[in-house]
Amino acid sequence: MVTSRLSDSTLQHFTDVLQRRKAELLHQMGANDESLVQVRQSLGEGTNDDEHDPEGPTMSEEWSMLTGLQAEARSELRELDSALERIEARDYGLCAACGNPIGRPRLEARPYATLCIECARKAEAR
């Protein structure tokens, strides 16, 4: 197994970045859960005739948007956890396709990246 060539301080930097993002995401998910409860209650009451409200989204649209946001957040959370596991295993920052290092600018932009920029471009072209 190839191990990360990143220094301990760099690995700590990315651990901190990933942990901060994870905390933000969990907070956002909690707020979305609260909003979903409110929408569910409004829908369950049956007295909220929002389908004819020209001023804003309907409760159905709100529900759909919030459930979509939660699905995206769960997906990102899995990516964050996977990146943290790679740091623990000392193979963080290595491309899953070619094994070469992932450039620091790419990791700064997308700290849970699993592919170097070249392999990511190839994957997108497919």
Task: Report the candidate in 34, 11, 9, 10 with the shortest Cα–Cα distance to residue 90.
Answer: 11
User: In this predicted structure, what is the pLDDT of residue 19?
Assistant: 98
Residue range 50-93, pLDDT digits in tens: 555 556 668 889 999 999 999 999 999 999 999 999 999 999 99
| Spatial CB neighbours of 14, under 8 Å, sequence gap ≥ 6 | 6, 83, 87, 92, 93, 107, 111
| pLDDT tops 80 at residue 4 | no
Residue 86 identity: R
